[in-house]
Amino acid sequence: MRWLDDPILDMQHLTMRFGGLVAVNDLSFKAARGDITALIGPNGAGKTTVFNCITGFYKPTEGMLSLRHVDGASFLLERLPGHSIAWKAKVARTFQNIRLFSGMTVLENLLVAQHNPLMIASGFTFLGVLGLPSYTKAERAAMDKAKYWLDKTGLLARADDPAGDLPYGAQRRLEIARAMCTEPVLLCLDEPAAGLNPRESHELNELLLSVRKDHATSILLIEHDMSVVMEISDHVVVLDYGTKIADGTPAEVKHDQKVIAAYLGVDDRDVEKVEAEVGV
């Protein structure tokens, strides 16, 4: 149980209510440093809500989300303003419905992702307006980093095309590249394989594995595509109706009775028994 020893993200008793609706109910889990942790569950289980809480788009009703860097710095994500979560706590994310800057070029998308370091290099714009060489140097470094990620995601040839012109699979990859340009310690991917064909989702697996290996980035993943989940993840957390029903390695989760019941339903004879077990 690696995730209990050195968790990068420690979620405790997370609850998110929207009026009377409890989207996430007392959810606790740990994600290990350097792991690919998958968050799965049927539609409406509250997975994206959990992501929105982690990345600051929602303020959780209750609970604590603590993130610890390798140097020991720790952050309580629920207390940070949204933009600091990306910039200070180094958590990046992608979106279920792709959110690229479609009217900007692929390269510009990656430069926007490096906004904060570039902003400092440009002396909060004041020095940049004068065109000082220090900023030019910083911008060149940013371009090099962008090029590195474009190369890695196979988008280098399309660097000067508008992001909105890319095919769907390429847009997904660009969104990951853009998130990686912020140098995250935790990368949250919301259904990265949705709408990809088998070859593309295989490439995605390779990309994610190399992100973890080469960049010391832990990955938290929401995914419905089990070929991705079972193949690359080290740890799977299963949600249903906002509560955790299973937590373990992919092999354990695959054979968990509750998980099978949540996904496939149960025999009519067993409904009462299972309901009593789950606590509905």
Partner 1 sequence: MNAPQPTTATMTQQRPAPANGDFTTALKDAGLATLVTFGLSIPILSFRTDQSQANELYLRPRWGLVLVACALVFALRFVLRLYGVRWAAARQVARSRKEAIRTTTEKPRGLAHRLLALAVPVFLGVALAFPLLSYFAAGGLTESRYWVDLGILILTYVMLGWGLNIVVGLAGLLDLGYVAFYAVGAYSYALLSTTFGLSFWICLPVAGILAAFWGILLGFPVLRLRGDYLAIVTLAFGEIIRLVLINWVELTNGGAGITSIPRVSFFGVPFTNEEGGFASLFGLEFSPMHRVIFLYYLILGLALLTNFVTLRLRRLPVGRAWEALREDEIACRSLGINTRNTKLTAFALGAMFGGIAGSFFAVRQGFVSPESFNFLESATILAIVVLGGMGSQVGVAVAAVLMVGGPEMLRNLGFLKAVFGEGFDPNEYRLLLFGLAMVAMMVWRPRGLISHREPSVALGVRKAISGALVKEGHG
Q: Which residues bind partner 1 (CB under 8 A)?
A: 55-57, 82-87, 92-93, 95, 99-105, 107-108, 111-116, 118-119, 122, 125, 128-129, 131, 135, 143, 147, 159-162, 164-165, 178-179, 182
Q: Nearest approach, Cβ of 240 to partner 1 (angstroms)?
A: 27
Between CA 3 and CA 32 the distance in angstroms is 4
Residue 157, C-beta contacts closer than 8 angstroms, at least 6 positions apart: none
Q: Which C-beta is closer to partner 1: that of 32 or that of 150?
A: 150
**In the complex with partner 1, which residue's Cβ is closer, 60 or 128?**
128
In whole angstroms, how close is the CB of 261 to partner 1 at the nearest point? 35
What's the closest the beta carbon of residue 134 comes to partner 1, in angstroms?
A: 13
Q: In the complex with partner 1, which residue's Cβ is closer, 95 or 241? A: 95
State the minimum distance, in angstroms, from the CB of residue 103 to partner 1.
3
Helices of type H across the chain: 2-5, 47-54, 82-87, 106-113, 115-121, 126-130, 133-152, 168-180, 198-215, 226-232, 250-254, 257-264, 271-278
If the CB atoms of residues 86 and 245 are measured against partner 1, the closer one turns out to be 86
| Token pair for 125 | 């714009």
**Which residue is it, tokens 């969104």?**
175
Tokens for 276, please give them: 């009593």
Pair 186, 9: CB distance under 8 Å: yes
